[in-house]
Structure 1
């Protein structure tokens, strides 16, 4: 049988907390399993994983897998969104991201970038010890403040930004190659890798590195008004992870893509719980199945209106209902016959 999408899974980052069952791996794994999820995508968060230990100890990773198996789920991927973000931060955003780094590194962006790259590499080694082939996260951003070219960008600014981004990520990607793990960048507004064009620019800067791949999330493409179905046709060979997240775009006479600095609930483009937005998930799952994607379909809950409890409860059955079991044969095979070559040539009006 052809490959099949795995799921449903759930990304834990938006549900992690300081109270049970959301403050340790056993508790949150049991919670997810109770909602019908088969997999959990784990952020590199000390509440759930000791990344230093996981990078060096397969026994410890086997223990983590055992905790999850006992709860009834498996680990889909590790997420290093926060750490990946810190690999490249423009000074304008440094104060906002300062809290993502260890306290000893506060106010030291260069040290933060070095630390973050090391953490992503540890997560690659931990992924291998966990038997995982992919981890995912953000690219970080140096050029983002200059997205809209007014005043005109100085010639070479974008090229230099991506050259520096590639310089920072190249050793990280090489470390992924050493352990046989892909890094799937979530293409996301606020990151220098936001769409297909920017991903291609980065890919060229890292010489087409085989470990530089994509975490596909159609919600970010709805907000950018990008063809999220055609994107799969173009980039399916690089899609290695899948966030199932919904969104809607409702432009008005007052606002469009940029939404006039409005809060999430009042923006023209806003994230919604699964089934409440405009993403055509029937078509998305069909496209991914057509192109042989066999990774996990993982809920990422972010909604401007609905509670996380309701969004999580509705997510598992929604994803399960959209996963396509590939057909083992063509629908018209029943009409086939035992026609030989001579008969075929006769049907075409050709001689023997």
Structure 2
């Protein structure tokens, strides 16, 4: 068995223009001071990383890792959540997603998509140069506006959307394969890959690509009322990354999983800081230990109530306390009387 690595923290929700969150060295020192041993870096945040330079310069990557090491943490993975979203955008979302892109391609959907694809290719090379094995992203969405089948969807609409989604992602998956890095899609509402079935639809269309994997975040599953524990068993071979994020779903006579257009504090399903929600992390971490998951446990902080720095401080201890240091021997080894094949046969009355 293997012991999961961590605790680590995704820096996307904490990076900002004020110290210590505006520079890689100072935010790394802040994370280390809270007890984190790893950081996951959002590749779009130029305060923390120059993605193009990381793709082109091994010296730059060595310096970046050195900066992290000097401040007490390791790099767990890079993320292209925002760029991945822009690989596939339905026109209804053009304006609201435009801010995810570089200024020079905003307002131009075709240029924006080409930019996003280039960003993913850079991320593959950067991940290789940084010695990483896994990468986090979103799939984007072409079919999401048609989630609920009313009015009736034209025959073949969803199939056409997923065919196109796979066509766009297949060359990117090949680039990650060439780099030796797994591309892990966060299963997330708003993305075409938002549950197990949609992941399977995509996986089939990319030919069960060896680099097509899952970022497991139970919070997005409980908010859809999915069996987030059973999900681990079904997709065991494809889960390569883990966001430790809590959530709650409070059954209501007034709203369900669509939450009636309410704000986050008023929704039946809400993201919470670690330990404040309903996710059974003891069983999740036990599953990880029993099934040799050797990746990182990465806090992604999202909470509609608690201050982020409080959530980060509490989250480090929460993850550390849940990581199971696996045993190297069975608990009843003291009673092992020893045996051999001849003895086994005698015990069974076979001789």
TM-score band, normalised by shorter chain? over 0.9
What TM-score does the superposition give when structure 2 sets the normalisation length? 0.98
3-state secondary structure, aligned to 1:321: helix
Deviation of 1:114 after TM superposition, in Å, equals: 1.0
Partner in structure 2 of residue 209 of structure 1 = 209
Instruction: Indicate the RMSD between aligned Cα atoms, in angstroms.
Output: 0.9
Partner in structure 2 of residue 17 of structure 1 = 16
Deviation of 1:15 after TM superposition, in Å, equals: 0.5
Partner in structure 1 of residue 47 of structure 2 = 47
Distance 1:180 1:249 in 2: 38
Distance 2:237 2:163 in 1: 24
Deviation of 1:288 after TM superposition, in Å, equals: 1.4
Partner in structure 1 of residue 326 of structure 2 = 326
CA deviation string 1:169-217 (max 9, x = no partner): 0110000011101110000000000111100100001000011101000
3-state secondary structure, aligned to 1:92: helix
Deviation of 1:161 after TM superposition, in Å, equals: 0.4
Structure 1 segment 225-244 matched on structure 2, within 5 A: 225-244=225-244
Deviation of 1:157 after TM superposition, in Å, equals: 0.6
Partner in structure 2 of residue 117 of structure 1 = 117
What TM-score does the superposition give when structure 1 sets the normalisation length? 0.98
Deviation of 1:59 after TM superposition, in Å, equals: 0.5
Partner in structure 2 of residue 338 of structure 1 = 338
Distance 2:24 2:202 in 1: 35
Structure 1 segment 1-352 matched on structure 2, within 5 A: 2-44=1-43, 45-350=45-350, 352=351
Deviation of 1:348 after TM superposition, in Å, equals: 2.4
Structure 1's unaligned 5+ residue stretches are none
Distance 1:342 1:121 in 2: 59
Distance 1:105 1:340 in 2: 70
3-state secondary structure, aligned to 1:26: helix
3-state secondary structure, aligned to 2:8: strand
Deviation of 1:21 after TM superposition, in Å, equals: 0.9
- Aligned 8 A contact 1:251 1:257 in 2: no
Runs of 4+ in structure 1 over 6 Å off:
none
- Aligned 8 A contact 1:236 1:288 in 2: no
The number of aligned residues is 350
Distance 1:216 1:289 in 2: 15
Deviation of 1:20 after TM superposition, in Å, equals: 1.1
Deviation of 1:231 after TM superposition, in Å, equals: 0.7
CA deviation string 1:113-156 (max 9, x = no partner): 11101101101110111110111010000000101111211111
